[in-house]
């Protein structure tokens, strides 16, 4: 009698969702391997920081070994105290506090740099994570398994193949060629600068408290947030794998507007200082403290990008290849929930595959249930994010007035304020 081989899961992509899933599967005794196109863990990743909400924290706690979860909490930045919406003159529109603000409270919402988060999530996965592996295509094997092919000619075979390879997922392109990711009509420019004692007093206090969306005139929008590490003993947590520069305090900002606001400018042709000039020109009548954020940005950190979003699709015929996170439900950054939605999916997929591995569910029905649930909450998040983008970039005076009035009303009505927090 032939010996049945152990069940195996192949994950394409060593991002937040893929690594969280790998930890959960490994802890359940499931054979799992992760393949990543970056050549090393230190390769530059898009964006500066993620904000891990209660949703993301719950998923990480569910999937990570307790000691690793504690390491993540120790190395993350100070928890955000809340969110404050302002107008371009620094007038308050809406503010609410997060329920957990103690940095020792694991349920607190906190920012963490992408590079530090990846290094932490790789702890314990070194032997099963392979860098420099660019996914090319998948194919079915005669025995019912699936084979992943990589551009270097190598292959990996497993019972299940997971595409966690981000917004430009090659796996999605093969599995669901009908799934689309499109450009919106919004362009964004972002940058950052080091936060220190010399410039701290010049930063608007709401930005030091947490995420700060700023609604400006003519459809202009600014988002700013400080990432800082203030400890009662005045020292940074020691960690062998986290370089000191990855824990330096900084302020990041992003300015965005409708594409037509940049119609005569080729943003791709500009260097960092040139992009700063573009933002300065759009913020001439903003509060000086907000304009100063742009002035202080290190030009080497400033970049521009077109804001994109996925287009919701209906359930498809389930097979032993599926998707996770941005690989399916990529969304605009204006709700700040993309990473947390991916982590939610990782925890759900971990439970799904563990039930299959234990023989409690057949693989097909189990994955079909996962996909239906992922489609529901994932594309709900996409729509919410897109709706926020539209509101934040409203150009007409009447539309702008209505958005600000709604925020001011929510500032006074607890039920409306709670609704805005829902889904994080």
Q: Residue 3 falls within a domain, yes or no?
A: no
Q: Residue 39 falls within a domain, yes or no?
A: yes
52 touches 112 (CB < 8 A): yes
Q: DSSP assignment, residue 266?
A: -
Q: Residue 85 falls within a domain, yes or no?
A: no
Q: Residue 229 falls within a domain, yes or no?
A: yes
Q: Residue 1 falls within a domain, yes or no?
A: no
Residue 157: CB atoms within 10 Å: 16
How confident is residue 371, by pLDDT bands cut at 50, 70 and 90? very high
pLDDT of residue 271: 97
How confident is residue 18, by pLDDT bands cut at 50, 70 and 90? very high
* Paired sense of beta strands 49-52 and 31-36, if any: unpaired
CA atoms of 412 and 424, how far apart (whole Å): 21
CA atoms of 9 and 158, how far apart (whole Å): 5
pLDDT of residue 64: 97
Side-chain half-sphere of 241: how many Cα atoms within 13 Å? 18
Mean pLDDT across 277-293: 97
Side-chain half-sphere of 185: how many Cα atoms within 13 Å? 11
In this model, does residue 239 exceed pLDDT 90?
no
Burial-class residue 130 by CB neighbours within 10 Å (0-12, 13-18, 19+): middle
Mean pLDDT across 154-183: 97
Q: Does residue 250 sit in the same domain as residue 368? A: no
CA atoms of 288 and 300, how far apart (whole Å): 23
Residue 23: in which H helix or E strand, if any?
A: helix 16-27
* Lowest mean pLDDT across 16-25, 42-51, 382-391: 42-51
Q: Does residue 212 sit in the same domain as residue 223? A: yes
| 133-163 pLDDT, tens digit each | 999 999 999 999 999 999 999 999 999 999 9
Mean pLDDT across 187-194: 96
Q: Does residue 21 sit in the same domain as residue 149? A: yes
CA distances in angstroms from 75 to 19, 21, 64, 219, 227, listed in the order given:
17, 20, 15, 37, 12
CA atoms of 116 and 113, how far apart (whole Å): 5
Query: Who contacts 135 (Cβ-Cβ below 8 Å, separation ≥6)?
Result: 12, 35, 37, 148, 149, 150, 151, 165, 170, 171
Mean per-residue pLDDT of the chain:
92
| 305-361 pLDDT, tens digit each | 999 999 999 999 999 999 999 999 999 999 889 999 999 999 999 999 999 999 999
Mean pLDDT across 215-222: 96
Report which of residues 161 and 233 the model is more confident about. Answer: 161
CA distances in angstroms from 401 to 186, 257, 289, 408, listed in the order given:
20, 17, 23, 10
Q: Does residue 122 sit in the same domain as residue 202? A: no
pLDDT of residue 415: 79
Q: Does residue 25 sit in the same domain as residue 128? A: yes
CA distances in angstroms from 55 to 82, 255, 334, 406, listed in the order given:
16, 27, 17, 26
Note the Cα 245 to chain centre separation in Å: 21
3-state secondary structure of 67: helix
Q: What is the largest CA-CA distance in the chain?
A: 79
Residue 59: CB atoms within 10 Å: 26
Q: Does residue 172 sit in the same domain as residue 213? A: no
How confident is residue 116, by pLDDT bands cut at 50, 70 and 90? confident
Question: Comparing C-alpha atoms, which of 18, 29, 21, 8 is closest to residue 63?
Answer: 21
Q: Does residue 47 sit in the same domain as residue 145? A: yes
pLDDT of residue 99: 82
Q: Residue 86 falls within a domain, yes or no?
A: no
CA distances in angstroms from 59 to 48, 368, 373, listed in the order given:
21, 20, 16
Q: Find the helix packing angle between 338-357 and 363-392, rounded to 10°.
A: 170
Instruction: Give me the domain span that covers residue 300.
Output: 183-308+395-421
Q: Does residue 358 sit in the same domain as residue 233? A: no
Q: Does residue 20 sit in the same domain as residue 131? A: yes
Residue with tokens 């270097």: 152
In this model, does residue 5 exceed pLDDT 70?
no
In this model, does residue 235 exceed pLDDT 70?
no
Q: Residue 90 falls within a domain, yes or no?
A: no
407 touches 85 (CB < 8 A): yes
CATH code of the domain covering residue 375: 3.50.50.60
Q: Does residue 286 sit in the same domain as residue 188? A: yes
3-state secondary structure of 152: coil
31, two tokens: 């054979």
Percent of the chain scored above 70 by pLDDT? 93
CA distances in angstroms from 238 to 75, 165, 243, 245, 247, listed in the order given:
8, 31, 9, 13, 10
Q: Does residue 303 sit in the same domain as residue 365? A: no
pLDDT of residue 1: 33
Residue 260: CB atoms within 10 Å: 11
Residue with tokens 């398994």: 145
Q: Does residue 228 sit in the same domain as residue 353? A: no
How confident is residue 416, by pLDDT bands cut at 50, 70 and 90? confident
| 26-81 pLDDT, tens digit each | 999 999 999 999 998 877 665 677 899 989 999 999 999 999 999 998 888 899 99
Query: Who contacts 16 (Cβ-Cβ below 8 Å, separation ≥6)?
Result: 50, 114, 117, 118, 121, 325, 339, 342, 343
pLDDT of residue 248: 85
3-state secondary structure of 147: strand
Residue 58: in which H helix or E strand, if any?
A: helix 54-63
Question: Comparing C-alpha atoms, which of 164, 230, 212, 222 is closest to residue 188?
Answer: 222
Query: Who contacts 15 (Cβ-Cβ below 8 Å, separation ≥6)?
Result: 118, 164, 165, 166, 325, 326, 342
Residue with tokens 């950054």: 333
Q: Residue 100 falls within a domain, yes or no?
A: no
Q: How many domains does the chain have?
A: 2
């Amino acid at each position: 009698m032939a010996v049945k081989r152990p069940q195996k899961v192949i994950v394409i992509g060593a991002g937040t969702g893929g690594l969280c899933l790998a930890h959960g599967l490994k802890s359940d005794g499931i054979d799992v391997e992760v393949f990543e196109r970056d050549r090393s863990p230190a390769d530059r990743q898009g964006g500066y920081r993620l904000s891990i909400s209660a949703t993301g924290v719950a998923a990480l706690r569910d999937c990570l070994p307790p000691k690793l979860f504690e390491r993540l909490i120790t190395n993350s930045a100070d928890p955000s105290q809340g969110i404050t919406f302002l107008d371009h003159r620094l007038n308050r529109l809406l503010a609410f506090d997060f329920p957990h603000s103690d940095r020792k409270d694991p349920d607190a919402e906190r920012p963490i740099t992408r590079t530090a988060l990846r290094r932490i999530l790789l702890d314990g996965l070194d032997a099963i994570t392979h860098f420099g592996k660019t996914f090319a295509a998948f194919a079915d094997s005669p025995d019912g398994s699936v084979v992943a092919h990589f551009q270097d000619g190598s292959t990996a075979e497993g019972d299940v193949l997971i595409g966690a390879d981000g917004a430009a997922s090659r796996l999605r392109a093969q599995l669901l060629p009908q799934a689309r990711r499109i450009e919106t009509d919004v362009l964004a420019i972002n940058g950052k600068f080091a936060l220190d004692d010399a410039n701290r007093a010049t930063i608007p206090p709401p930005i030091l408290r947490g995420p700060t969306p700023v609604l400006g005139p003519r459809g202009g929008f600014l988002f700013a947030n400080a990432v800082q590490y203030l400890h009662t003993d005045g020292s940074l947590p020691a960690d062998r794998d986290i370089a000191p520069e990855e824990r330096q305090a900084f302020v990041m900002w992003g300015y965005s507007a409708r594409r037509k606001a940049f119609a005569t400018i080729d943003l791709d042709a500009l260097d960092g200082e040139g992009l700063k000039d573009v933002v300065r020109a759009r913020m001439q009548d903003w509060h000086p403290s907000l304009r100063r954020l742009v002035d202080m940005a290190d030009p080497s950190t400033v970049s521009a990008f077109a804001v994109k979003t996925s287009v919701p699709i209906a359930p498809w015929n389930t097979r032993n290849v599926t998707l996770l996170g941005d690989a399916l439900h990529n969304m605009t950054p204006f709700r700040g929930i993309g990473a947390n939605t991916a982590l939610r999916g990782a925890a759900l997929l971990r439970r799904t595959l563990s039930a299959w591995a234990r023989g409690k569910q057949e693989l097909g029905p189990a994955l079909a249930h996962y996909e239906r649930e992922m489609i529901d909450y994932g594309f709900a998040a996409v729509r919410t994010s897109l709706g926020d983008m539209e509101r934040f970039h409203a150009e007409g005076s009447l539309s702008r007035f209505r958005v600000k009035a709604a925020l001011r009303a929510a500032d006074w009505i607890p039920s409306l304020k709670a609704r805005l927090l829902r889904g994080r």
